Amino acid sequence: MTAQAPTAPRHARSAPPDSQRERAAAQLGAERRRLWLVGVVISLAAPLVPYLTGTWETVWYGVAATPLPFAASVVFFLVFVHLALSIVALPLGYYGGFVLSHAFGLSRQTKTAWAIDWLKGTLVAVLLGTLFGGAFLWTVIAAGPNWWWVFGIAASIAGLALVFVMPYVLVPLFFKMRPLEDVETVARIHALVNRAGAPVKDICTLDFSRRTAEANAAVIGLGRSRRVVLADTLLAEFSPAEVDAVVAHELGHHVHRDVQRLLIGNAVLMWAGLAFAAWLRPLALPLLSLPSLAYVPGYPVLLFAVQLFYLVMSPLLNWWSRQLEARADRFALGLTRDPAAFVMAMERIGSQNLAERRPPRWAEVLLATHPPLYRRIDMAR
């Protein structure tokens, strides 16, 4: 499906389910679930196995033997760890993000463009990982038994800051964001925003079509930084009423303060995990052969523990996310009063993005952050 200019959308009012694309979506969903399982194994094994074999200690003591100050040695080691973990995950990421996406006709990227995006994402991940890892080790050393709540406060503030920074730094790092120039669409969305009571700074378009055939939209940021962002693929392929339905759903998240709810929920979960770790420390450290939480070469073991904790908790987080998404769907229907357009938008998302219409029940319960398409369509009807 070739994207057209955002100012000349197709106004087709029907997109009946294509059985061939539904089969392709089911095949893609099954393949992605297999990749998810392999990814879980890699994400748990990659930090733990080198510790059990002494590799992380060899690296750390090699760095510590250099003339570098202790703090610089710690930073170097953290950068090495996060970069090594990113490289270990690279083959799976390349297969899922490039090979598989091309095989199903979703990706439009060249290998070079994909590699550049991977480098950008890796640099961001290594930077954030090093900052959080360094803050954690420093807090454990400096705050003593109070480490868990001191780090909890710092991490909560950092998470909130990222929400404000994302629209201005992270999104433009990967996409060209421009003000939407289609006067009619801008006026229509502003009217929708006003009816929703969720003012936005501006309405922008992202150049998704350089990377993918998939369509998407979001309302990003908080407060005065909030803006509507629309993929050019959405504007090119969805009718005005369908675009309104998608935007109304995203506005629903902000009217209901879902971003704040998710921030608070994740903070509560993080604090619970930190408190549990502080309580469990006397038992866990000997079990993991760690002399202390501040043992620098043992840092990857802490990453393993964090991965395991969130893996166990993810079904609960995903269930909560599905409830918020369903409520945003109901809000969109109430705001637009056009259930037919909502249904057609869901049908088009299923076809254009190869979203699986009816995934296995276990996958819906354990992995899905959104209700499956058939539930969203049935609810609207």
Structure tokens at 197: 């009571």
Per-residue confidence in pLDDT tens, the chain, 381 aa: 333 333 334 444 444 457 888 999 999 999 999 999 999 999 999 999 999 999 999 999 999 999 999 999 999 999 999 999 999 999 999 999 999 999 999 999 999 999 999 999 999 999 999 999 999 999 999 998 999 999 999 999 998 888 878 777 888 899 999 999 999 999 999 999 999 998 898 999 999 999 999 999 999 887 777 899 999 999 999 999 999 999 999 999 999 999 889 989 989 999 999 999 999 888 888 888 889 999 999 999 999 999 999 999 999 999 999 999 999 999 999 999 999 999 999 999 999 999 999 999 999 999 999 999 999 999 998
User: Please, what is the end-to-end C-alpha distance for the chain in angstroms?
Assistant: 27
- CATH 3.30.2010.10 boundaries in the chain: 177-252
- SS3 per-residue string spanning 80-111: HHHHHHHHHHHHHHHHHHHHHHHHCCCECCCH
Asked if residues 355 and 349 have their Cβ atoms less than 8 Å apart, the reply is yes
206 strand-pairing partners:
177, 231
Q: What is the model's pTM?
A: 0.89
Instruction: Write down the architecture of domain 177-252 according to CATH.
Output: 2-Layer Sandwich (3.30)
